[in-house]
Amino acid sequence: MQKKKAGMPNRESWETLWINVNIATMVESDTDYGAIFNGALAVSKGKIVWLGTMDELAVINYSSKQILDGKGKWLTPGLIDCHTHIIYGGNRANEFEMRLQGKTYEEIAFAGGGILSTVAATRSASEQALLASAKPRLMALHKEGVTTVEIKSGYGLNLETEIKMLKVAQLLEKELPVTIKKTFLGAHAIPIEFQNNSQGYINEVCHNILPAIAEYKLADAVDVFCENIGFTLDETKQVFEVAKKLNLPVKIHAEQLSNMKGSELASTYNALSADHLEHLCEEGVKAMCNAKMTAVLLPGAYYFLRETQLPPIELFRHYQVPIAIATDSNPGSSPITSIQLMLNMACTLFKLTPFEALAGVTVNAAKVLGIADKKGKIAIGYDADIACWNIEQPAQLAYQFGVNPLTVLMKAGQVVI
């Protein structure tokens, strides 16, 4: 440690300094966004190295290569979309029309459409074609301030195509300045070659596909669709057991269409999250609380499937289960690539406060991806993934939809938009 000589304070030397900004730090606080008004923030080597008020900055001896004058705008952490399925072939506009004529999502799935129709299109698409169709989806999220995205596999349902999807996810990270977290969702549906033999497919996932994915280090987590049109509790458990042996954290699509108690099962594996949750009961919320899980709510799927059963928001608040919000962007239940729309829908459909909605795509979304120690907040030592918004108060991020208020996006300390 260098000693400071009296009267000669060390000179701070920074790469980039934001001045005249209001900062929604999202550092632990219940309602006020952890706000710093009339603040400043310094960045070096991709990290946040200083933050405080302009008055505090005024008494510091510093230099900065670059100064960004925010002129009263707001900074938030770069947004995190913690649940997506943006890599897939084809589209399901025909099923959308069928649903409008009265068929349900479940009926379409049981008749061999739904996820399986996307599986067919994804299997026949080349890696290049999947990359080309996923890139504009990722770009749409990025342009709205997203700097980290989780992408699931699950439209391959065989080793070759699951690998293809996860490789495309890896490639996307090279194409755009967005951190990608990859999730293996091999247990998403029962592929045609295992029709009426779900145990046969689960054996394939457990003994062949998942171990290979883990060996190639293609996944950061393992997800299962536990549902009447997906997998049973027992089948989900078998996949979780293998994930545990492979040291991969788990998460679950649960309680979307019925209450199968998937979230409770996931809690016994200390899952990162349970997602959807419209049909979750109080026991399930308690189990999630005890296991320190995060509830991922997906208002886009609720809206697009015209669901009416609301997730148990009051119980999440009561038991202090953190709530994350994500797009669930996928061709069947949420063909939406707007995180800003999700902020709005989280409030209008689920009655979250604008603060809870923003926490849902920052600090709580980071928990879901196991990166809460470096992303999702504006704090010293955190990654300098920062969005600058032309708004007067943070609630505007959820209040309006259609005009994109993003003015600057910084990723790892570099201005990328």
Structure tokens at 21: 């900004």
Instruction: Name the one residue in this structure whose structure tokens are 């788990």.
Output: 250
Residue nearest to ligand NIG (CB): 332
Instruction: Name the one residue in this structure whose structure tokens are 């010293």.
Output: 380
Expressed in angstroms, the distance from the first to the final Cα of the chain is 38
Q: Which does 99 bind (CB under 5 to 8 A by kind): Fe ion, ligand NIG, none?
A: none
Q: Which does 235 bind (CB under 5 to 8 A by kind): ligand NIG, Fe ion, none?
A: none
Whether 51 and 25 have beta carbons less than 8 Å apart is answered as yes
Give Cα 209 distance to the centre of its chain.
24
Residue among 107 and 175 whose Cβ is closer to ligand NIG: 107
Q: Which does 24 bind (CB under 5 to 8 A by kind): Fe ion, ligand NIG, none?
A: none
Burial (CB count <10 Å: 0-12, 13-18, 19+), residue 101: exposed
Q: Which H helix or E strand runs over 204? A: helix 198-204
DSSP per-residue string spanning 238-267: HHHHHHHHTT--EEEEESSSS---HHHHHH
Q: Which of 328, 356, 383, 385 binds Fe ion (CB under 5 A)?
A: 328
User: Phi and psi of 255, rounded to 5°?
Assistant: 55, 35
Instruction: Name the one residue in this structure whose structure tokens are 């608040």.
Output: 317
Contacts of 126 (CB under 8 A, 6+ apart): none
Q: Which does 312 bind (CB under 5 to 8 A by kind): Fe ion, ligand NIG, none?
A: none
* Cβ 111 to ligand NIG shortest distance, Å: 13
User: Phi and psi of 234, rounded to 5°?
Assistant: -65, -40
Q: Which does 332 bind (CB under 5 to 8 A by kind): ligand NIG, Fe ion, none?
A: ligand NIG
Residue among 256 and 344 whose Cβ is closer to ligand NIG: 256
Region from 55-63, 70-78, 111-119, 321-329 binding Fe ion, contact rule CB under 5 A: 321-329
* Cβ 129 to ligand NIG shortest distance, Å: 18
Sign of CA dihedral 79, 82, 87, 88: negative
Look at residues 135, 186, 150, 177 and name the one whose alpha carbon lies nearest to residue 324: 150
Residue among 23 and 323 whose Cβ is closer to ligand NIG: 323
Q: Which does 301 bind (CB under 5 to 8 A by kind): Fe ion, ligand NIG, none?
A: ligand NIG
* Cβ 301 to Fe ion shortest distance, Å: 7
* Cβ 301 to ligand NIG shortest distance, Å: 5
Residue among 25 and 337 whose Cβ is closer to ligand NIG: 337
Residue among 101 and 320 whose Cβ is closer to ligand NIG: 101
**Going by DSSP bridges, is the β-strand pair 79-81/146-152 parallel, antiparallel, or unpaired?**
parallel
* Cβ 186 to ligand NIG shortest distance, Å: 13
Q: Which does 339 bind (CB under 5 to 8 A by kind): Fe ion, ligand NIG, none?
A: none
Residue among 115 and 288 whose Cβ is closer to ligand NIG: 115
Report the largest interatomic distance among the alpha carbons of the chain, rounded to a whole angstrom: 79
User: Phi and psi of 87, rounded to 5°?
Assistant: -100, 115
Residue among 255 and 328 whose Cβ is closer to Fe ion: 328
* Cβ 169 to ligand NIG shortest distance, Å: 16
* Cβ 282 to ligand NIG shortest distance, Å: 23
Structure tokens at 133: 């169709």
Region from 7-15, 51-59, 159-167, 323-331 binding Fe ion, contact rule CB under 5 A: 323-331
Q: Say how far apart CA 22 and CA 189 lie, in whole Å.
A: 46
Footprint of ligand NIG on this chain (CB under 6 A)?
85, 114-115, 118, 225, 253, 256, 301, 328, 330-333
DSSP per-residue string spanning 392-408: SSTTHHHH--SS--EEE
* Cβ 5 to Fe ion shortest distance, Å: 58
Q: Which does 147 bind (CB under 5 to 8 A by kind): Fe ion, ligand NIG, none?
A: none
* Cβ 117 to ligand NIG shortest distance, Å: 9
Q: Say how far apart CA 325 and CA 331 lie, in whole Å.
A: 18
Structure tokens at 405: 């208020």
Structure tokens at 201: 């497919």
Residue among 229 and 397 whose Cβ is closer to ligand NIG: 229
Q: Which does 95 bind (CB under 5 to 8 A by kind): ligand NIG, Fe ion, none?
A: none
Number of residues that bind Fe ion (CB under 5 A): 1
Whether 278 and 309 have beta carbons less than 8 Å apart is answered as yes
Residue among 49 and 326 whose Cβ is closer to ligand NIG: 326
Residue among 9 and 112 whose Cβ is closer to ligand NIG: 112
Instruction: Give the interface with Fe ion as residue ranges (CB under 5 A).
Output: 328
